[in-house]
Structure 1
Amino acid sequence: MFQALSTALLPQAGRLITGLRNAAPLSAVAARARRFRRALTAAAADAPQLADLPHPLPAPEGAPEAESLALARTDWAERLWDAGFTGPGGAAEALRLSGLLPLSPATTLLLLGQDAGGAAAAIATQRGAWIASHQHDPVAAARMAARLRPFGRRIEVRPWSPQQPAFRKGFHQHALALEPLRPDPRPGPLCAAIAGGLKPGGQFVLLELVEGASAGQRQAALRRWMQLETRSAPPPSRAAVEAALHAAGFQVHVTEDASQRHCSGIVEAFGRLMPGLRAAGRPASPGATAALLAEVESWLLRHRLVASGQLTLLRWHASRRR
């Protein structure tokens, strides 16, 4: 049942990963990515039932097709990045970013952005902070709440609106935002809302994609990537984000380009995924094939856009002026 998939997919995936790891020319990597997607599509047609993944938080029966696809993509994402995470680095990256903040069991952390509960759990476990983890998608919030239930009141999952962000006024000591501008690329309202949610002198770490030096090239790839990440507009410019931080009353201490680490993490994750695909056996839920295709294409395009300089992943460390 799984033979067609592994026979057609794994050699193509191996060549693609090798090209990424060895910094092959972008044209060669793009060609390998196209062959990989064709192989995956052909294999799925012959063997539509992919391996079933463990689903500790399954999609509810009767869920709409779009919702089921999103949940299936989340399961594949967690297979790539580990349970509760939505991008490269896993717990180590979450702790590296939060390590810039003076967290302790006596502090509260405002957390938002791309997390499925993994970052919140890792930070609460290792740093002891009380965490208000904000999630704008109600389905994802329910899954996060179920995953984080063992932490009790130490981690609270709260809603927020990317279009009209607002957080508990002057309550949190510090904030960590992991690509929070994905649902709405305007940095001004978000930075102002986070500043309003912090105590005077509170520190803020922001990880966000921005336009790169080569912005304007590869428009077809950018549009497709935006579609796969359900983005209504491209990421903002670095200047726009930094202007928003200053306007909100933040003083920026450090800006770091995290693009290379991000790309390396993508390559490593796909390298880990392949043996799991080879070993899988039980049939999957309907839609698993489409979800895998979308998740793979999304991250390959992200890697291509970041590696080519059209997108840049930056990390800012700032503090609210007293």
Structure 2
Amino acid sequence: MSEESAPGKPWKKKLLAWWEGYDLPENKDDKHEQEPPVAAAPAGTKPVLTGVTSRFGKPLWSATRIEVVEKLWGEGFTTPGGDDYIPQLVKPLGLNPAMSVLDLAAGLGGAGRKMAAQYGCWVTGMEASPVLAKEGMERSVKSGMAKQATIVHYDPENFKHPKRFDCIFAKEFFCFVKNREGLHDGIELSLKPRGQLLFTDYVFDKEEPRSAAVKDWIAKEPVEPFPLTMQQTVSSLQQRNLDIRINEDITDAHRTLILAAIQSLTEFLASRSLDHDTKLAVVEEVEQWARRVAALQSGLRAYRFFALKLADGSEG
């Protein structure tokens, strides 16, 4: 493994050097743990946004974390791959102005707005985080796409939608849904006959003893992951009248996107002085993605799936 591809080298050394170049309290870790998740912050600080907490009891999203992830992935994005990546990812869908799209991992709405702007399609975004759903919808309103790229909060563990769509889309999210069978049921019911499903997700190649890096990733993700194997994913979809057309391992490309973004962020931060909360958010975000990279090099895989709902399925 080259130094550039290895988690923690060289960007983590640079990040730590940048961090230690400032006079921070010796007990900065303790201070971080004790920081209260208050909704109203003192003057001059960034607020913690109200919403669901992680499985460790901390708010999942804050204004500061949103700033960090947008600097990392691009405006409107919370996961790897920004505006330039989306057209390549969704190319199999053949989007056009007559088509409706349901995005089940809308985040801040970057992907939905890109699809709507470039192809003229109508995107309904659904997001598990109420904070991201609210922030994302505000961005759609500001960009003049309130109707063409809407975003609402939903519970993916109990997903149902009254409408049916030409396409359903999601990026690296389904593995964080425990009730996968229920989610797949909802997807099948929400697709029109000949409707298309395109998503990327974290999966295992096969059932086998997990590496230390994968166990560490599972143990420390803010939202607990429940990855299926690639074959379990395919079989579950096939049972729901979905014909798998693309089943592609994109791990190398995904890992490259992550490492390039972290390197770019590290270089950007090297010449800037940030407040303590922002530094903590940066380090936490980078460490989270470093764990994902390590897992992706030790048994976890990133896949792109594309499926077509067979025309003789339930018309609903």
Q: TM-score w.r.t. structure 1 length?
A: 0.78
- Residue 203 (structure 1) shift: 0.8
Unaligned runs of 5+ in 2: 29-44, 52-56, 312-316
* TM-superposition CA deviations, 1:262-305 (whole Å, max 9, x none): 01111211221123102223x43x52222111101111111111
Of the candidates 191, 198, 213, which is equivalent to residue 198 of structure 1? 191
Equivalent-residue separation in structure 2 for 1:75 and 1:228 (angstroms): 22
- Residue 44 (structure 1) shift: 5.9
Equivalent-residue separation in structure 1 for 2:17 and 2:210 (angstroms): 27
Aligned to 2:137: 145
**Pair 1:211 & 2:190 matched:** no
**Pair 1:168 & 2:168 matched:** no
* TM-superposition CA deviations, 1:36-70 (whole Å, max 9, x none): 6765664566388xxxxxxxxx9647858933864
Of the candidates 8, 19, 35, which is equivalent to residue 3 of structure 2? 19
Aligned to 1:13: none
* TM-superposition CA deviations, 1:198-244 (whole Å, max 9, x none): 1111011021100245953433x334433543232441211221121
* TM-superposition CA deviations, 1:83-125 (whole Å, max 9, x none): 1112222112222122210211111101122632111111111
The answer to whether the 8 Å contact 1:69/1:290 transfers is no
Q: TM-score w.r.t. structure 2 length?
A: 0.80
CA RMSD of aligned residues (A): 2.9
- Residue 159 (structure 1) shift: 2.5
Aligned to 1:295: 285
- Residue 154 (structure 1) shift: 0.8
**Pair 1:73 & 2:85 matched:** no
Distance 1:107 1:77, change over 3 A: same
Aligned to 1:10: none
Aligned to 2:103: 111
Aligned to 2:310: 321
Aligned to 1:120: 112
Equivalent-residue separation in structure 1 for 2:182 and 2:22 (angstroms): 43
Equivalent-residue separation in structure 1 for 2:12 and 2:211 (angstroms): 15
Q: Which has the higher contact order (CA 8 A, sep 6+)?
A: 1
The answer to whether the 8 Å contact 1:182/1:231 transfers is no
Distance 1:293 1:246, change over 3 A: same
Letter in 2 for 1:132: T
Say how many residue pairs are matched. 286
- Residue 137 (structure 1) shift: 1.2
Distance 1:212 1:305, change over 3 A: farther
Equivalent-residue separation in structure 2 for 1:202 and 1:69 (angstroms): 33
**Equivalence map 1:86-97=2 (5 Å):** 86-97=78-89
Distance 1:186 1:33, change over 3 A: farther
Distance 1:62 1:306, change over 3 A: closer
Of the candidates 239, 245, 252, which is equivalent to residue 253 of structure 1? 245
- Secondary structure of 1:177's partner? strand
- Residue 35 (structure 1) shift: 5.5
Aligned to 2:221: 229
* TM-superposition CA deviations, 1:158-186 (whole Å, max 9, x none): 222121111234x2111111123243144
Unaligned runs of 5+ in 1: 1-15, 49-57
Instruction: Name the structure with the higher helix share.
Output: 1
The answer to whether the 8 Å contact 2:87/2:115 transfers is yes
What percentage of aligned pairs have identical amino acids? 22
Of the candidates 46, 56, 65, which is equivalent to residue 24 of structure 2? 46
| Of 107-116 and 249-258, the range deviating more from structure 2 | 107-116
Letter in 2 for 1:218: S
Aligned to 1:53: none
Equivalent-residue separation in structure 1 for 2:231 and 2:254 (angstroms): 21
